[in-house]
Amino acid sequence: MSLASSGLVASIVPFEPTLGIAAVASVMLTVFVIAMIAFAVAPLVSSSWNDYQRTPATDAAAAQTAEPSDD
Question: Residue 29: its pLDDT value, please?
Answer: 98
Res 1: pLDDT: 47
CA separation, residue 8 to residues 12, 20, 69 (Å): 6, 18, 79
Measured between alpha carbons, how far is 22 from 13 in angstroms, rounded to an integer?
15
Q: Residue 60 carries which side chain, given as an amino acid letter?
A: A
Residue type for position 6 = S
Query: In 3-state terms, what secondary structure has residue 69?
Result: coil
Q: What does the pLDDT look like over 2-56, one tens digit per residue?
A: 555 555 556 665 678 888 889 999 999 999 999 999 988 888 887 776 566 665 5
Highest average pLDDT, of 24-28, 59-63, 67-71, comes from 24-28
